[in-house]
Amino acid sequence: MITRIREVRRARGMTLDDVAKRCSPPTTPQTVGRLETGTRTVSIGWLNRIAEALGVEAADLVEGGGEKSELPVVAVLGAGGAAAPKRTAVVVPPRSGPGQVAIIAAASLGDYRSGDEIWCETLEAAQYGRALNRDVLVPRPAGRFLFGRLIGREEGKLHLLPPGAGGRQSVVADPPWIAVASKLVRSL
């Protein structure tokens, strides 16, 4: 079976290690590399695990696997302006995955503009360290939330700075989960 694992992985901007860690259960980067190159046979189970880790459908990873949901890259924007890409590339549109939630910006605040969609990955307490210096959504009692930059964590307390200038630091004790911003979708 001819797969497009490497092509889709690169289009997503992910390393072998990123994909390996996102597999459920996690695997090694070497195994993902072997599956990409065909030195290890790709079973349906592996295809589904890799597809989930990449946030695509399994059919997107197989040559001729159905309707392709990708966009061809026709230019690369750099310091010198737009130029043709040096090699063929595609961009795979984002798909939601398990444990993802979204935030919609109703007003411009900090780096976010009105209408922005902020896709987030939920984390449990043992994973909070992965979110340091990143924007997070933290649940509060009575259906409220805090959103801001996670700047510290000590003894079960999270320290957040609001996204706008001039706001005060908030401290939240023992939230059951947080959601770290992982993707920004913005219409121009």
Domain closes at, from 91, 124, 140: 91
The total number of structural domains that make up the chain: 2
Q: Which of 39-48, 59-68, 162-171 has the lowest mean pLDDT?
A: 59-68
What is residue 65's predicted lDDT score, i.e. its pLDDT? 52
Q: Give dist(CA 152, CA 162) in Å, integer.
A: 13
Could you report the per-residue pLDDT of 161-186, keeping only the tens digit for each?
A: 998 888 899 999 989 999 999 989 88
* pLDDT grade for 10, boundaries at 50, 70 and 90: confident
CATH of the domain at 29: 1.10.260.40
Q: Which residue in this structure is represented by tokens 């000590």?
A: 154
- Interval 44-60 mean pLDDT: 89
Instruction: Mark whether 62 and 122 lie in a shared domain.
Output: no
Nearest to 39 by CA among 48, 30, 26: 30
Could you report the per-residue pLDDT of 123-150, keeping only the tens digit for each?
A: 998 899 889 999 999 999 888 999 999 9
CATH of the domain at 121: 2.30.30
Q: Give dist(CA 52, CA 119) in Å, integer.
A: 16
- The answer to pTM > 0.85 is no
Question: Which is more confidently placed, 96 or 59?
Answer: 59
* pLDDT grade for 68, boundaries at 50, 70 and 90: low
Could you report the per-residue pLDDT of 82-120, keeping only the tens digit for each?
A: 988 888 877 777 767 778 899 999 999 889 999 899 999
- For residue 60, the enclosing domain spans 5-91
